[in-house]
C-alpha cells in the first residue's frame, strides 16, 4: 500500500510539473495590445516615451507609437485618408502602430527566461502604403538582460510587411503576415524589442507605416521534452531506491 501511495505521489508531482510548464506557454504580457482597452469614442491612443502599454515600454527617441482599436477606427477621420480601412487586427480588437507623428520610438518588454532553453517568438505584421510607398521594415531584436545592451544580439532581424495591396484599391483590409524566430536564452532575463525602420522628423499617419499584433513568446514542447524525460527518470530512480531500502529493512 505504501508503494502505491509513493507511486501516486510521484505521478502527481510529475503531472503538476507538466501543468505548471504548460501554463507558462505565453510568457509575454499583453501580446495582443488589448490593454489599455480603448473606448468607442477614442479608438486610438498615442503612447509617448516611457509609457507602459500593459507590459510593453515605449523606448527609443524621439517619436511615439499608437494603440488602435477596431472596428472603432473605421469612423475616425485620419483613417479615411486612403483606401486601406485599418481593420481588422490580426486577432481580437486592438493592435499597435509602430510609428507616431515622428519616427524613432520602439516598444520593448523584458521577461524572465531559463538559460540554455530554446524559445519561439511569433508575431504578426502589416503595413499601410501612402504616397511614399517606401520599403521600410520592422526590426526585431532579442537581447540578454535588460534593454540597451550592446551587440551581439540573440536575434537582430528586419521583416518586411506585405505591401502587395496598394492604393487605389478601394477600402482593402490590412494584410497580416505571421513571422517566427527562435533563440536560445543566455540569462535569466531577456528583452524583446520591436521598431519601425522608417526615419523621418515628422510622420504622416497614413503614409508608409507599419503595424504589429499577436506577439507570443513560448517554449516549444520539443524543447521541454528533455526536462520531462528527466523528471520521469528521477521519479523512477526514487521509487527504485525506496524499494531497495524497504527490502533491506525487512531482511535485516
CB atoms within 10 A of CB 130: 17
Angstrom distance (rounded) from CA 227 to CA 225: 5
The number of CA neighbours under 13 Å toward the Cβ of 68 is: 30
Crossing angle of helices 2-23 and 221-251, in 10° steps, is 160
Query: Where does the pLDDT of residue 121 fall: very low under 50, low under 70, confident under 90, or very high at 90 and above?
Result: very high
- Residue whose C-alpha is closest to residue 79's, from 177, 209, 215, 213: 209
User: pLDDT tens digits, residue range 31-57?
Assistant: 999 999 998 788 889 999 999 999 999
E strand spans, 48-154: 52-53, 56-60, 65-69, 94-97, 105-112, 118-128, 138-144
Going from N- to C-terminal start, the domains of the chain cover 1-25+221-252, 26-218
Strand, coil or helix: 111: strand
Cα–Cα distance for residue pair 169/124, rounded to 1 Å: 22
What is the pLDDT at residue 234?
A: 58
What is the Rg, in whole angstroms, of the alpha carbon atoms belonging to the chain? 24
| pTM score | 0.76
Domain covering 26-218 in this structure, CATH number: 2.60.120.260
Determine whether 54 is exposed, middle or buried from the number of CB atoms within 10 Å of its CB (0-12, 13-18, 19+): middle
pLDDT at 120 over 80: yes
pLDDT at 166: 57
Cell 523606448 sits on residue: 59
In contact, 144 and 154? CB cutoff 8 Å: yes
pLDDT of residue 160: 87
Q: What is the pLDDT of residue 71?
A: 86
Q: Report in angstroms the alpha-carbon separations of 95 from 9, 137, 161, 193, 215.
A: 45, 17, 15, 16, 10
pLDDT higher than threshold 70 for residue 20:
no
Q: What is the arithmetic mean of pLDDT over 108-125?
A: 96
**229 has a pLDDT exceeding 50:** no
Give the tens place of pLDDT for each residue, 160-210. Answer: 887 666 555 556 778 899 999 999 999 999 999 999 876 655 555 545 678
Write the pLDDT tens digit of every residue in 55-94: 999 998 778 899 999 988 877 766 665 556 788 899 999 9
Cell numbers describing residue 171: 477600402
Per-residue pLDDT averaged across 214-237, rounded? 62
* pLDDT at position 216 over 80: yes
Please answer whether residues 43 and 18 qualify as being in contact, where contact means their C-beta atoms are separated by less than 8 angstroms.
Answer: no
Contact (Cβ atoms closer than 8 angstroms) between residue 198 and residue 100: no
pLDDT of residue 162: 77
| Distance of alpha carbon 83 from alpha carbon 172, whole angstroms | 6
Amino acid at each position: 500500500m505504501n508503494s502505491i501511495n509513493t507511486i501516486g505521489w510521484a505521478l502527481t508531482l510529475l503531472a503538476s510539473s507538466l501543468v505548471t510548464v504548460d501554463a507558462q506557454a505565453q510568457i509575454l504580457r499583453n501580446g495582443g495590445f488589448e490593454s489599455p482597452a480603448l473606448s468607442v469614442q477614442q479608438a486610438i491612443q498615442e503612447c509617448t516615451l516611457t509609457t507602459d502599454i500593459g507590459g510593453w515600454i515605449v523606448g527609443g527617441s524621439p517619436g511615439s507609437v499608437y494603440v488602435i482599436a477596431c472596428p472603432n477606427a473605421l469612423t475616425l477621420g485620419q483613417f479615411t485618408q486612403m483606401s486601406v480601412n485599418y481593420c481588422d487586427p490580426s486577432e481580437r480588437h486592438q493592435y499597435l502602430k509602430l510609428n507616431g507623428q515622428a519616427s524613432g520610438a520602439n516598444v520593448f518588454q523584458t521577461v524572465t527566461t531559463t538559460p540554455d532553453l530554446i524559445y519561439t517568438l511569433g508575431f504578426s505584421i502589416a503595413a499601410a502604403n501612402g504616397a511614399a510607398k517606401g520599403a521600410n521594415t520592422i526590426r526585431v531584436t532579442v537581447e540578454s538582460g535588460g534593454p540597451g545592451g550592446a551587440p551581439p544580439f540573440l536575434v537582430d532581424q528586419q521583416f518586411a510587411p506585405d505591401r502587395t495591396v496598394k492604393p487605389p484599391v478601394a477600402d482593402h483590409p490590412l494584410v497580416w503576415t505571421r513571422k517566427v524566430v527562435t533563440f536560445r536564452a543566455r540569462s535569466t532575463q531577456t528583452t524583446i524589442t520591436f521598431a519601425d525602420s522608417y526615419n523621418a522628423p515628422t510622420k504622416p499617419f497614413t503614409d508608409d507605416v507599419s503595424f504589429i499584433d499577436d506577439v507570443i513568446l513560448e517554449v516549444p514542447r520539443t524543447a521541454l521534452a528533455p526536462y520531462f524525460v528527466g523528471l520521469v527518470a528521477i521519479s523512477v530512480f526514487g521509487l527504485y531506491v525506496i524499494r531497495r531500502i524497504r527490502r533491506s529493512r525487512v531482511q535485516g
